[in-house]
Amino acid sequence: MEALLAIAVGVLSACGVFLILRARTFPILLGLTLLSYAVNLFLFASGRLQVGAPPLIRPGGTYTDPLPQALVLTAIVIGFGMTAYLAMLALRALSESGGDHVDAPEEPR
Amino acid sequence: MNTHALILPILIPFVAALLQMAGQRPAFQRTVGLLAAVLLVLVTAWLTRLADDGVLRVYALGDWPAPFGIVLVVDRLAAGMTLLTAILAFAALLYASAGFDERGQHFHPLFQLQVVGLCGAFLTGDLFNLFVFFEVMLLASYTLLAHGGGLARTRAGISYVVLNLVGSALFLIALGLLYGTLGTLNLADLAHRLTLPGHDPALARLACALLVAVFVLKAGLLPLSFWLPHTYTAAGAPVAALFAIMTKVGIVALLRLQCVALAPALPDLLDRWLTTLALATVVFAGLGILAASRLRALGAWLVLLSAGTLLLTPAQASPRVDAAALFYLVQSTVATAAFFLLAGVIAEQRGAAGDHFRAGPPPAAWLKVAFLIAAITVAGLPPFSGFLGKLMLLSTLREAPAGTAIWVVLLTAGFIVMIALARDGCLLIWRNGTFAEATRPIAGGGRKAAATLLLVAGGPLLAVVARPLADYSARAAHQLHAPGGYVDAVLGRRPANLGDEVAR
Residue pLDDT, tens place only, B33-83: 999 999 999 999 999 999 998 888 888 888 888 788 899 999 999 999 999
In order of B289, B298, B331, B390, B394, the CA distances from B413 in angstroms are: 9, 14, 17, 11, 13
Q: Residue B78 falls within a domain, yes or no?
A: yes
In order of B82, B195, B223, B358, B417, the CA distances from B412 in angstroms are: 32, 41, 21, 26, 9
Q: Which one of B216-225, B298-307, B397-406 scores highest in mean pLDDT?
A: B298-307
Put simply, the answer to whether A82 touches B139 (Cβ < 8 Å) is: yes
Q: Name the residue in chain B with its Cα closest to that of A44.
A: B176
Q: Is the domain of B322 the same as that of B244?
A: no
Nearest to A35 among B155, B159, B169 (CB): B169
How close, in Å, is residue A85 to chain B by CA atoms?
9
Q: Are the beta carbons of B122 and B136 closer than 8 angstroms? A: no
Q: Residue B355 falls within a domain, yes or no?
A: yes
Q: Is the domain of B215 the same as that of B124?
A: yes
Domain boundary among B269, B304, B338: B269
Q: Residue B499 falls within a domain, yes or no?
A: no
Q: Is the domain of B365 the same as that of B412?
A: yes
Q: Is the domain of B363 the same as that of B399?
A: yes
Closest to B227 measured CA to CA, from B302, B312, B162, B183: B162
Mean pLDDT of chain B: 88
Q: Is the domain of B346 the same as that of B370?
A: yes
Alpha helices in B183-200 (DSSP H): 187-195
Question: How far is it, in rounded angstroms, from Cα B22 to Cα B28?
Answer: 10
For the stretch B447-457, pLDDT in tens is 898 999 999 99
Helices B76-96 and B246-257: crossing angle, nearest 10°?
170
Q: Residue B331 falls within a domain, yes or no?
A: yes
How big is the A-B interface in CB pairs under 8 Å? 94
Q: Is the domain of B258 the same as that of B321?
A: no
How close, in Å, is residue B128 to chain A by CA atoms?
8
Q: Is the domain of B74 the same as that of B155?
A: yes
pLDDT of residue B435: 60
Who's near B133: CB < 8 A, 6+ residues apart? B116, B117, B120, B121, B124
Q: Is the domain of B243 the same as that of B314?
A: no
pLDDT of residue A104: 61
Domain boundary among B269, B300, B331: B269
Is residue B504 pLDDT above 60, yes or no? no
Q: Are the beta carbons of B235 and B144 closer than 8 angstroms? A: yes
Q: Residue B492 falls within a domain, yes or no?
A: no
Q: In B, which residues are within 8 Å of A107 by CB distance?
A: 151-152
- Domain span holding position B424: 271-483
Q: Residue B456, SS3? A: helix
pLDDT of residue B502: 33
The interface pTM score, or ipTM, of the predicted complex is: 0.93
Q: How many domains does chain B have?
A: 2
Closest to B48 measured CA to CA, from B487, B482, B480, B473: B473
Question: How far is it, in rounded angstroms, from Cα B283 to Cα B378?
Answer: 16
What domains are there in chain A, each with its CATH number? Answer: 2-50+64-97 (1.10.287)
Answer whether B132 touches A (CB < 8 Å).
Answer: yes
CB atoms within 10 A of CB B406: 22
pLDDT band at B1 (very low <50, low <70, confident <90, very high): low
Answer whether A33 touches B (CB < 8 Å).
Answer: no
- The contacts found for B55-61 with CB under 8 angstroms, 24 or more apart, are B56/B479, B56/B485, B56/B486, B56/B489, B56/B490, B57/B6, B58/B125, B58/B489, B58/B490, B58/B493, B59/B3, B59/B4, B59/B6, B59/B7, B60/B493, B61/B7
Answer whether B179 touches A (CB < 8 Å).
Answer: yes
Q: Is the domain of B249 the same as that of B290?
A: no
